[in-house]
Amino acid sequence: MTYIVALTGGICSGKSTIANIFAGLGVPLVDADIIARQVIQSDASILNKIIAHYGHSILLSNGSLNRKKLRQKIFSKQRERTWLNSLLHPLIRRETKLRISLVKKSYVLWIVPLLFENSLHNKANRILLIDVIPEIQLTRVIARDGITYEQAEQILASQASREQRLIYSNDVIINNGELTTINESITFLHKLYLKLAIIFQQKTN
């Protein structure tokens, strides 16, 4: 069985950036956001249910889902989030399990932005948190997604707090500075996970 390390953190904490550095070390990635996107693309009945719920204005002019608009509809409304989660989560769960079962390496990095918000933390063997101070997070969100300061603040407020994430995480990478400053931590954690994976496999086989 593959040892599962969940990689999580708030928006623009640097999850994708850091996951790609692990990938450079040969670590397979399973990305919850990519799976969510592919589930919607590959299953027409899901898109049809989203259209029935929100109307055709939820689509882009090319007929595909306007993901930005969908995010706006759900992020401040718990009821809408619950509706979308109950539609997508069973399929995402199935696809995630399948992809992890196909991994041939001893451990997999499972990138899950909303690990705590969606109570998925007990599905991982270990949790790696990418932590960043809100001031830097806000600057990065505004630069990356071209949104206003107020919109960025709203997104941050809708997510788990730093404290909530820190309580449940085993390991933390603090990504406030230059990326070069975290290379050593990544190498250290990679070696640690390889060792923990061996112990896990000895126990479970």
Residue whose tokens read 């086989």: 205
Tokens of 4: 């599962």
Residues 89-118 touching ligand ADP, rule: CB under 6 A, are: none
Tokens of 51: 């259209």
Q: In this structure, which amino acid lies at residue 94?
A: R
* Of 8 and 96, CB closest to ligand ADP: 8
- Quick one: tokens of 73? 């509809």
Return the residue of 5, 9, 30, 120 that touches ligand ADP, per CB under 6 A. Answer: 9
Nearer to ligand ADP, 17 or 118 (CB): 17
User: In this structure, is the dihedral angle defined by the CA atoms of residues 160, 164, 169 and 173, taken in order, positive or negative?
Assistant: positive
- Cα dihedral 69, 71, 74, 80, rounded to 10, equals 80
* 15 near ligand ADP (CB under 6 A): yes
Closest C-alpha to 94, from 6, 44, 16, 32: 32
The amino acid at residue 176 is N
User: Per-residue x/- mask for ligand ADP, residues 120 to 149, rule CB under 6 A?
Assistant: --------------------x---x-----
Q: Which helix (H) or strand (E) holds 12?
A: none
Binding status of residue 66 toward ligand ADP by CB under 6 A: no
Q: Is 16 among the residues that bind ligand ADP (CB under 6 A)?
A: yes
Nearer to ligand ADP, 92 or 197 (CB): 92
Binding to ligand ADP by residue 185, rule CB under 6 A? no
Residues forming the site for ligand ADP (CB under 6 A): 9, 11-17, 140, 144, 175, 179
